[in-house]
Amino acid sequence: MIQIRLLQPGDRQGLIDLIEPVDKNIVGMYSETKELVDDWINTIEEGMWEVFVVIISQKAYKIEQKRIIRKLFPWKRLKDNPSGIIGLVTLYADWQEDDDLEQGEFDIGITVAEAFKRKGIGKELLLNIIKRGELLGYNKATLWTRIDNYPMIKLAENFGFKKGRTRTRHGHKWDQYYQEIDIIKKERKKDPTIL
């Protein structure tokens, strides 16, 4: 149903369409959408971080579009999405630029389009980015979420992340969740069914 791949410069409009309706305060995005997307694309080209996007086929998107119109929100129309981008996940590990990161640690950011939440996409993204961080040799994964972002907190806890520090940014409290990558490797050796 979904494909996860690295962001490409041609994905600019698809990212803008994904991020424009997002409550930026709840996910910690404080720039204008176009400025934010351009910054991501430029930063990727400089090799400072990785962004993966979730793509859905046009057929699957149209099915979801019809389902939303008929059953869930007859008054709400799901905008056409020629890019098929319905989510993204970031891996940021520039510990020399970010005071919240230590060497060997990477930070995760996840966004999924509202219509596609609670379908396991966030879980797939988190799993994908943890594996990517492990492949790149990082030993700790972290993510920050607002204390009232219950879906993200539940996802982190279901993956075995532990609650770390709390901070206040832009008038909101944020909790850090972290997981040691070595623990995942050890658990995988004990139980090979763990991804």
Cβ atoms within 10 Å, residue 123: 13
Give per-residue pLDDT as tens, 9-32: 888 888 888 877 766 665 566 667
Classify residue 122 by burial, with Cβ atoms within 10 Å: 0-12, 13-18, 19+.
Answer: buried
The count of residues in the chain is 195
Whether 177 is covered by a domain: the verdict is: no
| Mean pLDDT for all residues in the chain | 79
**Angle subtended by helix axes 150-158 and 121-135, to nearest 10:** 50
Distance CA 7, CA 132 (A): 14
Do 87 and 54 contact (CB within 8 A), yes or no? yes
Whether 51 is covered by a domain: the verdict is: yes
Whether 82 is covered by a domain: the verdict is: yes
* From 59-63, 94-98, 163-167, 178-182, the region with the lowest mean pLDDT: 94-98
Do 162 and 179 contact (CB within 8 A), yes or no? yes
Distance CA 141, CA 99 (A): 15
Give per-residue pLDDT as tens, 29-53: 666 777 877 777 777 766 668 889 9
Whether 151 is covered by a domain: the verdict is: no
Work out the percent of the chain whose per-residue pLDDT is above 90.
Answer: 28
HSE at residue 151, side-chain half, CA atoms within 13 A, is 14
Q: Is the dihedral of CA 186, 132, 81, 60 positive or negative?
A: negative
Cβ atoms within 10 Å, residue 108: 23
Whether 148 is covered by a domain: the verdict is: no
- Number of domain units in the chain: 1
Range from 12-16, 80-84, 108-112 that averages highest in pLDDT: 108-112
Whether 72 is covered by a domain: the verdict is: yes
Whether 129 is covered by a domain: the verdict is: yes
CATH number at residue 7: 3.40.630.30
Query: What's the mean pLDDT in 162-166?
Result: 94
pLDDT of 66 over the 60 cut = yes
- How confident is the model at residue 92, as a pLDDT? 84
Q: Which of 110, 92, 112 is nearest to 102 (CA)?
A: 92
DSSP state of 22: S
Distance CA 173, CA 70 (A): 38
Whether 192 is covered by a domain: the verdict is: no
Structural domain range at position 32: 2-141
Distance CA 160, CA 157 (A): 5
Which tops the pLDDT comparison, 139 or 188?
Answer: 139
Do 178 and 140 contact (CB within 8 A), yes or no? yes
pLDDT of 189 over the 60 cut = no
Query: What's the mean pLDDT in 104-116?
Result: 87
pLDDT of 164 over the 70 cut = yes
Q: How confident is the model at residue 166 (pLDDT cuts 50, 70, 90)?
A: very high
